[in-house]
Every structure is written in C-alpha cells, then in structure tokens.
Amino acid sequence: MQIRNALPTAATARTAAAATVTAPPAGLEFGNRGPQVKQLQDALVKLGYMTKAQVATGPGIFGEKTKAAVTKFQADHKLPTTGYYGDLTHAALKKALGADSKPPKPGTFTKPPVVNAPSPNSNSRGGADIDTIVLHHTGSNNGAGDLAWMRNPQSQVSAHYMLDRDGKIYQLVGDEKRAWHAGKGELHGVPTDVNGRSIGIEIVNDGSGKTPFTDAQYKSLTQLVGYLKQEYKVPANNILGHKDVAVPKGRKSDPAENFDWNRLRAGL
C-alpha cells in the first residue's frame, strides 16, 4: 500500500530454548487449564494440529479447539477418539514429537533476523488463523520516514514487517496480532477481513514502476515469506499483492508493476 493513503480497519521468533517441545503428563481433559495444558497445546501446534492463533487467547485452557485437536491426533494415530489426553495419547504424542525433532530438511526456512520496532497500530485477530501474506510498497524510498509513519498512532496504519532498501527487516506488529495494512478487501473474489487473516509486508519502494526493488530486498523477502509460508502453512496462491485483495478493483497498485513475482516464487 501507499501507506499515507491507507484506510484503517480497525509470537514472536521462536528461541532455541523454546523450540524444545515435550509431551505433558497424561490426565488432561476438557475444562482443565494451566501450564500442562499450555504444554499440550504447544506440542499440538508443533505437530500441525493447532495454530498459534488458536492458543494465543488464554493461558492454557483446554477448550473446544484443543479437544478437537486431540481428537484429530487420536484419529490419525488409530486411538480411541475421546478427546481425553490419557496414557495412550501421551505415549503417541511423545513418539510423534521425537520423530518431529529431526534436523530440518534442506530447503526449509528459519525466521530471518529482524529489528523490533513496535507500532501501536494493531488489534486482536479474534482467533482467526493466518492463511494469507500480502505484499505492499510503501510509496516512498525513505525507509526511516516510512517506519516512523507506521509507528505513529495518528497514522492508523501499520504492517507486520517492513523491508528497507538495504534488506534490513523491521518487525512492527507481532504475527499473532492484526496489523492495519490492507483496508477493505476480498480474497479470491470473496469479501473478507483481509487484515484479520493475513501477514502484511511493506517493501520500501516509491511504487513508480521505475525504481528497482533491490537484490537485498528480494533476498530478505524470500527468506521472510518462505518462513511465514512454512510456519503458518500459507497456500502458494494466498501469497498476494495489495492490488490483488483491495476493493474496489484498482484501488491499490502495489507492489509496483516492476516487482518480480517470478523471482520471489522461484526461491520459495
């Protein structure tokens, strides 16, 4: 988006220590809450049965979504589908986590280094899953100015990430929060709250179609989008430009026409 004309519509990197996820003791069921439930949820997130957005709403609450995830895990492992986390489910979860702890396969992505530059311009996703990535150009070549604008409460605009001309990545809003980057929109022709389900990435570029996007930007963008696509299981056809989701059609033009989509996709 050209951030000065955007319309407002209303975790964090995994550390090496946090990457170690283990199965909690057996005996958890619907209605339980506390650190052992959170441990179970973290394990289910790691194995792909829950999303981070689903478990970010409370401190370890065994609710309907957790029960559904346990039931799905049980079905996949040919266990009684009770939704109760008992001894058999504990043993299967422990085994699955052991298998999942193998070194990453070649071609997998880790989160690139980011500079934290928090913006107040965000709100809750309301439990919505992340399934879309939206790319923008900022509308100027002044990264410092663009960053300051998105961090200004009066601007009422933001993005999750901004890529400067030198490839440096700034994170303004946590992935789990709803940044204000897309305005009124649709996804593949269906009206939707794009901000509520997407990650927004601003690329510092004036949007003229004549100013090249830099090699450093393409390199950082490929790593960042690759990581986000992998982390949130974003379908390839949901990696889009602002112009693809904005309504009415033609309201936005970013990223500019000289952005090389083929170069990005070839690296993912």
Question: Catalytic site residues?
Answer: 202
Intra-chain end-to-end CA distance of the chain, in Å: 23
SS3 state of residue 76 = helix
β strands within the chain, DSSP E:
115-116, 122-124, 132-137, 161-163, 169-171, 177-179, 185-187, 190-192, 198-203, 239-241
Task: Specify whether the CB–CB gap between 194 and 139 falls below 8 A.
Answer: no
Task: Specify whether the CB–CB gap between 243 and 253 falls below 8 A.
Answer: yes
